[in-house]
Amino acid sequence: MSIRNSLLALLSAAPAHGYGLKSIFEAGTAGAWPLNVGQVYTTLSRLERDGMVEPVEDSDDDRRAWRITDDGRVALAAWYEVPVDHRSTRDELVIKVLVAVAAGDVDVAKVIQTQRVATMERLQQYTRHKMAADPAVTMPWVMLLDALILRAEAESRWLDRCEERLGMAAASP
């Protein structure tokens, strides 16, 4: 629902047309998540179907502009008010490790090691980016980097802890 709600959010500030929404979304998320234009149009159709947006008629323009409806604003407010809950989001790394343990026939230590190497490499990349970035750097870009760094650090710590726990379990039956 992230894209759906994002479009709604961007339209709440001002009406816009499909292509514009793509640009605003990508700029606002620092280009981290490229958005296929086609998806914007399909998502807008679905939002219209659900009464969340409506076309703005303007005979002088062959582009189709969209406006958020009152129902749309209600849905948007709900998105902002209800906190994100990670328990309900399946985390692929956690699943991968837990399932590897459950399966029993997998070299979990190797999986953890592979992941950690990648995570640490990325962590260095992010840090380098942040250093290189002058204070004049854009807001979304820094905020995104912060998020990636903190997440990578947490992940690295989790991997360490998993290794410990699995080592202990292997030592004592």
End-to-end CA distance of the chain: 44
* Distance from C-alpha of 170 to C-alpha of 164, rounded to nearest angstrom: 10
172 binds DNA (CB under 7 A): no
Binding partner selected for residue 95 from DNA, a second copy, none, CB under the kind-specific 5 to 8 Å limit: a second copy
* Distance from C-alpha of 130 to C-alpha of 145, rounded to nearest angstrom: 7
28 binds a second copy (CB under 8 A): yes
Binding partner selected for residue 39 from DNA, a second copy, none, CB under the kind-specific 5 to 8 Å limit: DNA
162 binds a second copy (CB under 8 A): yes
Among residues 56 and 169, whose Cβ is nearest to a second copy? 169
* Distance from C-alpha of 156 to C-alpha of 139, rounded to nearest angstrom: 26
Binding-site size for DNA (CB under 7 A) equals: 23
Name beta bridge partners: 54. Answer: 67
84 binds a second copy (CB under 8 A): yes
* Distance from C-alpha of 97 to C-alpha of 159, rounded to nearest angstrom: 9
Among residues 48 and 120, whose Cβ is nearest to a second copy? 120
* Distance from C-alpha of 122 to C-alpha of 136, rounded to nearest angstrom: 23
Binding-site size for a second copy (CB under 8 A) equals: 71
Binding site for DNA (CB under 7 A): 1-4, 17-20, 23, 36-39, 41-43, 45-46, 50, 63-65, 90
